[in-house]
Amino acid sequence: MAPTHAIITRPASSTAVKPWTYTAEQQAQIEALREYARSLLLPDSDPYHKWELRWLTKPDTIPRYMRAAKWKLDDGKRRIKGTLEWRREYKPDLIPPDEVKPEAETGKILINGFDKGGRPIIHMRPDRENTEHTPRQLRHLVWCLERTKDLMPPGVESCVILIDYSRTTMRTNPSISVARKVLHILQNHYVETLGRGIVVNLPMLLNFFYKGISPFLDPVTRDKIKFNPNLLELIPKDQLYTEFGGTFEYEFEFERYWEQICEACHIAPDGTRTEESESVEEAKQCVDHISPCFTTLNGSVRRESGESTPATLVDNTPLSKEVEAVANAPPAEQTAPVL
């Protein structure tokens, strides 16, 4: 393939998506958690109500929280209540692009391509670090996670994070403290969102970094992280960078990348959306009428009529008090959530 500045925002045509399926008992638990979540919704008069509703009624939201809770309803309620409170404070879906744009200028974190399961890939290059460790760095990562959600095709609920440590030094690598803050948000508020973590070219000098964060990883999460795997077995050759053995010769050019990712995800300058699908209004109808909608085995929103459709205020608070408290706590005081 010839060199290109164009990012890939759709999975390969050969992609085989394997959506989750649930037993009747699990479906009943999902519905119980959905009913509880409805009771927590902000009133219609609240400016953030629309966005909270948009997130809560996505087909994957409630099932992900029940899976993360290992099908324990009380734990699922605790988890989703905590995330709703966090999202109201942090407003991750309304971060204006210009707020985090300086963090993206070097391509240290970018979204490009999909794996063989149709999961969007977040590429991380710690050697391209260009800013100091500030709350804006964390908000940039959250912004990127939200964009992977936008790009996921129907039936896909997770992403791939590929970290390339080539040329990374002690100076450019994030501190363990920063990593703990990232893990807290990922494991508590983006549950079941990591489909696979891939680490390549990790120098011996940085082995201590992974040993340092290991106590904060749930065993399920730890098992998802692979070191130096055969990337051609995981990612289509034409969506894998040439430096990793693929044929995708992508050349990063910041302004073109930024324009493409914002356009693909319909992100407006103020953080809202330039286009809204009818699924938001349909989701509202589902919540207003308590029973008409439920999640089917393939993850779509279905009406009692049998018709199925895939469901597809800015606060500048730098970092929630919850994140600071947990990130600075000793390991013994932290829970073991699931990523």
Higher pLDDT, 144 or 169: 144
Confidence of residue 339 (pLDDT cuts 50, 70, 90): low
Residue at 164 is within a domain: yes
Confidence of residue 174 (pLDDT cuts 50, 70, 90): confident
Range of the domain at 77: 24-90
Please tell me the predicted confidence (pLDDT) of residue 334.
Answer: 37
**How many structural domains compose the chain?**
2
Residue at 329 is within a domain: no
Residue at 17 is within a domain: no
CATH number, residue 236: 3.40.525.10
| Amino acid (one-letter) located at 272 | T
| Per-residue pLDDT tens over the stretch 247-263 | 999 999 999 999 999 99
| Per-residue pLDDT tens over the stretch 5-55 | 999 999 999 898 988 999 999 999 999 999 999 999 999 999 999 999 999
Q: Are residues 49 and 145 in the same domain?
A: no
DSSP secondary structure string for all residues of 101-165: HHHHTT-SEEEEEE-TTS-EEEEE-GGG--S-S-HHHHHHHHHHHHHHHHHPPTT---EEEEEE-
Confidence of residue 280 (pLDDT cuts 50, 70, 90): very low
Confidence of residue 276 (pLDDT cuts 50, 70, 90): low
Residue at 235 is within a domain: yes
Residue at 335 is within a domain: no
Q: Are residues 279 and 159 in the same domain?
A: yes
Q: Which of 147, 161, 189 is nearest to 273 (CA)?
A: 147
Residue 45 forms beta bridges with which residues? none
Residue at 244 is within a domain: yes
Q: Which of 90, 120, 146 is the last residue of a domain?
A: 90
Torsion of CA 320, 323, 329, 334, to 10 degrees: 140
Q: Are residues 119 and 86 in the same domain?
A: no
Q: Are residues 83 and 231 in the same domain?
A: no
DSSP 273: B
Q: Are residues 85 and 110 in the same domain?
A: no
In this prediction, residues 309-325 reach a mean pLDDT of: 36
Q: Are residues 137 and 84 in the same domain?
A: no
| Per-residue pLDDT tens over the stretch 65-113 | 999 999 999 999 999 999 999 999 999 999 999 999 999 999 999 999 9
Q: What are the C-alpha distances in Å from 51 to residues 32, 58, 93, 185?
A: 22, 11, 8, 19
Q: Are residues 189 and 237 in the same domain?
A: yes
What is the length of the chain? 339
In this prediction, residues 270-292 reach a mean pLDDT of: 53
List phi, psi (to 5°) of 9: -115, 10
312 pLDDT exceeds 60? no
Residue at 310 is within a domain: no
